[in-house]
Structure 1
Amino acid sequence: MSKFYYNEEQESYDAIVVGTGISGGWAAKELCENGLKTLVLERGRMVNHITDYPTANLDPWDFPNNGELSPDKIARQEKQNRTGYTVKAPHHFWFVDDIDHPYNETKRFDWMRGYHVGGRSLLWGRHSYRWSPMDFEANKKDGVAVDWPVRYKDIAPWYDKVESYIGVTGELLNLPQLPDGKFEPMMELNCVEQHVRERVADHFDGRVITAGRVAHINSDKKFEGLNRSSCKFRNRCIRGCPFGAYFSSNSSTLPAAERTGNMTLRPDSIVHEVIYDPDTKKATGVKVIDRVTKEVYEFKAKVIFLCASAVASTSILMQSKSDRFENGMGNDSGELGHNIMDHHFKAGARGKMDGFTDKYYKGRKPNGVYIPRFRNLGGNSDMKDFIRGYGYQGGASRGNYEDIVAEVSHGKELKDAILNTGGWQMGINGFGEILPYHENKMSLDYDKKDQWGLPTVTFDAEIKENELNMRKDMQEQAAAMLEKSGVRDVETYDEEYALGLGIHEMGTARMGRDPKTSVVNGNNQVHTVKNVYVTDGAFMTSASCVNPSLTYMAFTARAANHAVEELKKGNI
């Protein structure tokens, strides 16, 4: 994507897309390719693919202070720094300033955000897994929250479409709990990972270690004429990939939308309200504040896609008040803002592996190992003290890599450190499902407003007994698998976790069959305003235990094509 354009004189479009991240990029692509003149609104600054990745080709020695920020800069990103990795010199500029963009916490909530064209599609971990049939049926089976109004068979063709377009590496496993997809070649495991994979298969029935399925091109395949090439194994992904090897809106979906001539992209545009017409019972457009000038605009459209992220899209609906919707657009159920979910992690085990000292590896893989869910699948796998399940991400590497940093070792010590790479270490970290508890919620505080005069978000959410019991099993089983694989000095850990830290916010405008208990229907339409679609994490009815972005993309593509057909029929 090389440019953007907009015309202040033009006020009306066929479609408006709010947000340019994982979901917004797909909505823009599908709507534009189907012929709709589409206005794409992004609250943050413009970011052009390649030219606006300032640190993509810098080496560690190019950053002062070993890449650590000064205390005054860290103070402005105190909450963004809770991950331990976001506030580093090579990429801190992607994440918001907490002083300029405040939020409130009744209970701790780690809200990691990047306000720019591309959103978190430039920052995501790129793990891409399909949901299984059991995931869509779990709420009904367990009597939890509400039932999904769709099933795997409804989404499977859209998973096919998305995977074929973005490029997902993976291995065919034929596991019912983790359906196979349209894969690029799997990224190879290193020697220790392969050893542990074999030992786990020998000692644990039904447990599989594979490589993480990630949205990276790992072949010579050409992707629909886009300027993308295969992964170079630099593992500098979070800085922005100049090769387009990993999927992002900037390298892929937004250029595809732009190529049609139907996209108008307007950055620095803070959408805060969807306008409702009580006579037609439809939305007519959105209200926008210019981030820089603070001027106010209104743009009109026949259909509106909210793809601003789970929290931001729900905030917009909450602020969209009218005589018909006194508590926010589509909130007849009272569920708007409730049922917030994430994935809990930072519980697992690690240790040291003897041997393999004659082996190393080349390049820096952008993924490690993945162990699919093996709990509560029926039979002996069912647990008494928690429902649902978890998977693991992790990997093996050689130790003492810190010793080759010039600031740490010098002269002969540095030379010796380079020649002696140290021993192998192996760790696996659980990623577990969080149930959709009604009392886990976000709300708006109109007494604490931001610099644009908009209410700030307050979070009140926590994990509960089901997740706490799951975390115990995460540690125990991680240790058992490592020990059976010959890893020594195995230690378990349960590090500090609060909702949001998984950066997978979901559920604040959930999907369901009944307008009395949900916000959007099975086509991602707001039940009571059919020309408003919500296709980011807000619509999720449950969380599964796998990374959700692939599912957002599949649902977004499906919803966009539904909107096109409904417009043709005159239904919206």
Structure 2
Amino acid sequence: MNLNIDSIKNQTYDAIIVGSGVSGGFAAKELTEKGLRVLVLDRGRQMEHVTGYTPSYKDPWDFKYNGLLTNEQKATHPKLARDYPYNEMTETYWFNDSDSMYKEEKRFDWFRPNIVGGKSIMWGRQTYRLSDIDFEANLKDGIAVDWPIRYKDIAPWYSYVEKHVGISGEALGLPQLPDSEFLKPMDMYCVEKEVRKRIEKNFPGRNMTIGRVANLSEAKQAQLGIGRSACQYRNKCRLGCPYGAYFSSQSCTLPPAAKTGLMTLRPDSLVSEILYDEQKQKAKGVRVIDTVTKDVREYYAKIIFVCGSTVSTTALLLNSKSRRYPNGFGNDSGELGHNLMDHHFKIGASGVWEGDEDKYYIGRRANGIYIPRYRNIGNDKRDYLRGFGYQGSGSRQGWNRGVGDLNFGIDYKESMTKPGPWMMGLSGFGETLPYHENKMYLDPTTKDKWGLPVVVFDAEFKENEKKMRKDIMEDAREMLESAGLKNVRAFDNGSYPGMAIHEMGTARMGRDPKTSVLNANNQVHGVKNVFVTDGASMTSASCVNPSLTYMALTARAADFAVKEMKKHNI
């Protein structure tokens, strides 16, 4: 038998990372800085920092339809076009519907980026820590399974990540929302400051603060050292930031990894399968399809970090079958693909603020306000489990307030050149429980253009979420009215799983291999050299934006993995 030893050697690394988003990028930084030779595989096209953000250099009038979609785009992208992330300005950042096929037993909005860095380019950047209230919730409520970690286990890693990322915000000392390592907070608008005073006076226990956001309000040496600068207040974040003023893989984690000389990054590389070594009972590598040429190649490594984003990660695990794991990689528990979660949102209230029309704001603040969870905490008991937080902001109405107006003339035109009244809105983000029956699975017959089985979604928001939504809407209306706003209107614009782009679960952490996929160190229970550190690992959802937790889990798991390698335990 003639073995091509040199070829195998050239395709062998210390570590393979699947995905380059918030989790994969952090894994690349941590593992290379610890001395490992790392291969990063991403199915998206190359996206160069600074030069790759073409839409960010355009003015609004440079877009033919001011960011809106044409009927043709809606027809060719019936799923992507259902919601706001996909539009004229960002369309090149997302997979076409035809290249991102999936099926729905129940509606699920799945947004898949087609770029290196993934959703770290387009994310909302709100960054909050989970607390022990979250880590203990499943155990106390007697649902799903218990998290195998507590806040004390991850708190040092939150701090570690935050110092590198750069989080602007205000310390509050709340048990349900632990404080971060903060840069100076962004300033609140005059209306927001006054509404805050009134809400906190009228509703003890409810707090309003400026959003905790991964935009640099100031650039410290940790950020300047890798070429980042402070936020320019352009609020074009979803188009890519050439200043590196917000966290993205391109600006924050891939550059330090590249600087080590130990990272190899391969775009256009779809990982179709994790290869399992039956004799060693470990993963030995991955099989990769070149998305352009469709050539197939294998790569090998001592450890594998799967960070492809929740749904893609789980699809990969489900598709990685062997005699040992006929139902999916590491799926002894049968839980792989189950317990799919997302936050429910698009509900709240808004109103008009009278006065302060002699005041405006400077720049376009890429942030809003935040009201942390206050329901089902302490003595507050509701007829549903868990809770919600609010995001929102104050703003001056612009010229579009005249759209549909029948007025005309010089005076009317002149009035449209001046800002309208102040508005204030609150929009809730609620926790979804980890239901076993909310799931994703692979279609046994339908294949995508690369020959892989397509994902099928079967998930919905249930009675607990519906009860919570009534509170979200009513509380928002009540708070704004009590703060003195006029013409307050509550709204519920409907929410489906996937819309918030906070998909989580499906390969959850747990204490028992019989009921979970991963252990306390994000290792697959039965395969100790495979780690899953993205949203798939989440055991419950909390009600806060989850990306910071993914990064902290990743840094923690990378540290553990390297220590175990040195001990020859992996």
Q: Is the 8 A contact 2:213 2:367 kept in 1?
A: yes
Measured after TM superposition, the shift of residue 127 of structure 1 is 0.1
**In the alignment, what sits opposite 1:530?**
528
Give TM-score, length-normalised by structure 1: 0.96
Tell me which of 524, 547, 554 is aligned to 1:556. 554
| Number of the residue aligned with 2:496 | 498
Residue 88 (structure 1) shift = 2.1
Q: Alpha-carbon deviation of 1:112?
A: 1.1
After superposing on structure 2, the runs of 4+ consecutive aligned residues of structure 1 that deviate more than 4 Å are 408-415
Counterpart secondary structure, 2:61: helix
Matches within 5 A, 1:345-360: 345-360=345-360
- Answer yes or no: is 1:44 the counterpart of 2:44: yes
C-alpha deviations, 1:168-201, integer Å up to 9, x for none? 0110100000000100111111011111000001
* Paired position in structure 1 for 2:312: 312
Deviation per CA, 1:206-249: give whole Å up to 9, x if none.
Answer: 11110110001111412251110000111000000010000000
Q: Which residue is equivalent to 1:430?
A: 428
CA 1:409 to 1:156, structure 2 compared with 1: closer, same or farther past 3 Å?
Answer: farther
CA deviation map 1:18-61 (0-9, x unaligned) = 00000000000000000000000000100010100001121111
Query: Contact (CA 8 Å) 2:399, 2:417: kept in 1 or not?
Result: no
Structure 1 counterpart of 2:479, which letter? Answer: M
Amino acid at match of 1:336: L
Tell me the secondary structure at the aligned position of residue 99 of structure 1.
helix
SS in structure 2 at match of 1:223 = helix
1:412 shift after superposition: 4.6
Matches within 5 A, 1:173-252: 173-224=172-223, 225-252=225-252
In the superposition, relative to structure 1, how do residues 88 and 352 fare at CA in structure 2: closer, same or farther (>3 Å)?
same
Q: For residue 391 of structure 1, give the secondary structure of its aligned residue in structure 2.
A: strand
Distance in 2 (CA, whole Å) between partners of 1:410 and 1:176 is: 55
For residues 439-495 of structure 1, what are the alpha-carbon distances to aligned partners after superposition, in whole Å with 9 as ceiling and x for unaligned? Answer: 000000131100100000000000111100000000111011000100111111111
- Structure 2 partner of 1:470: 468
Q: Following the alignment from structure 2 to structure 1, what is the Cα–Cα distance between the partners of residues 499 and 444?
A: 25
Q: Does the CA-based 8 Å contact 2:80-2:109 persist in structure 1?
A: yes
Q: Distance in 2 between matches of 1:469 and 1:115?
A: 37
After superposing the two structures, state which structure 1 stretch, 468-477 or 413-422, moved more.
Answer: 413-422
User: 2 CA distance for matches of 1:412 and 1:169?
Assistant: 44
Q: Which runs of 5+ in 2 are unaligned?
A: 1-6
2:100–2:112: 8 Å Cα contact kept in structure 1? no
Whether the aligned pair in 2 keeps the contact of 1:29 and 1:257 (CA below 8 Å) is: yes
Paired AA for residue 178 in structure 1: L
Aligned residue number for residue 128 of structure 2: 129
**Aligned counterparts of 1:24 and 1:220: Cα–Cα separation in 2:** 24
CA contact (8 A) 2:121 2:240 kept: yes
CA–CA separation in structure 1 for the residues paired with 2:173 and 2:332? 42
Cα distance change on mapping 1:566 and 1:489 into 2, 3 Å: same
Q: Is the 8 A contact 1:222 1:228 kept in 2?
A: no
Q: What is the match of residue 512 of structure 1?
A: 510
Q: Mapping of 1:96-495 within 5 angstroms?
A: 96-224=95-223, 225-379=225-379, 381-383=380-382, 385-402=383-400, 412=410, 416-417=414-415, 419-495=417-493
Question: Matches of 2:315 and 2:71 in 1, distance apart?
Answer: 32
Q: What letter is aligned with 2:43?
A: R
Q: Is the 8 A contact 1:123 1:237 kept in 2?
A: yes
Helix, strand or coil: the match of 2:468? helix
Given the superposition, is the C-alpha separation of residues 404 and 493 from structure 1 closer, same or farther in structure 2, using an over 3 Å criterion?
A: closer
Q: C-alpha deviations, 1:256-282, integer Å up to 9, x for none?
A: 100000000000000011000111110
Distance, in Å, in 2 between the alignment partners of 1:553 and 1:413 is 54
- SS of the residue corresponding to residue 302 of structure 1 reads strand
Percent identity of equivalent pairs: 58
1:410, distance to aligned residue in structure 2 (A): 10
Partner of 2:3: none
Between the aligned partners of 1:367 and 1:74, the Cα distance in structure 2 is: 29
Residues 446 and 454 in structure 1, CA contact (< 8 A), matched pair in contact too: no
8 Å CA contact 2:352–2:421 kept in 1: the answer is yes
Tell me by how many angstroms 1:415 deviates. 5.6
TM-score relative to the length of structure 2:
0.96
SS across alignment from 1:67: coil
Distance 1:197 1:70 in 2: 40
Deviation (angstroms), 1:501 = 0.5
Distance 1:95 1:172 in 2: 36
| Structure 1 residues 95 and 411, CA gap change in structure 2 (3 angstroms) | farther
Q: Contact 2:47/2:117 (CA < 8 Å) preserved in 1? A: yes
SS of equivalent to 2:288: strand
Is the CA contact 2:94–2:115 (under 8 Å) kept in the aligned structure 1?
A: no
Any conservation in 2 of the 1:294–1:452 contact (CA below 8 Å)? yes
AA aligned to 1:361 is Y
Q: What CA distance in whole angstroms lies between the structure 2 residues aligned with 1:429 and 1:136?
A: 25
Q: Which secondary structure state, in structure 2, belongs to the residue aligned with residue 551 of structure 1? A: helix
**In structure 2, do the counterparts of structure 1 residues 195 and 328 end up closer, same or farther at CA, with 3 Å as the change threshold?**
same
- 1:273 is paired with a residue of what secondary structure? strand
**Is residue 86–residue 95 contact of structure 1 (8 Å, CA) maintained in 2?**
no
CA separation in 2, counterparts of 1:132 and 1:32?
A: 30
Unaligned runs of 5+ in 1: 1-6
- C-alpha displacement at 1:362, in angstroms? 1.1
Answer whether contact 1:211 1:368 (CA < 8 A) is retained.
yes
Deviation at 1:288, TM superposition (A): 0.4
Per-residue CA shift, 1:137-175, capped at 9, x if unaligned? 000000010000000000000000010000001101000
Look up the match of 2:64. 64
Q: CA deviation at 1:512?
A: 0.3
Counterpart of 1:27 in structure 2 is 27
Secondary structure, counterpart of 1:157 in structure 2: helix
Per the alignment, residue 3 of structure 1 pairs with none
Task: Report the 3-state secondary structure (helix = DSSP H, G, I; strand = E; otherwise coil) of the residue aligned with 1:64.
Answer: coil
| Counterpart-to-counterpart distance in 2, 1:196 and 1:403 | 23
SS in structure 1 at match of 2:56 = coil
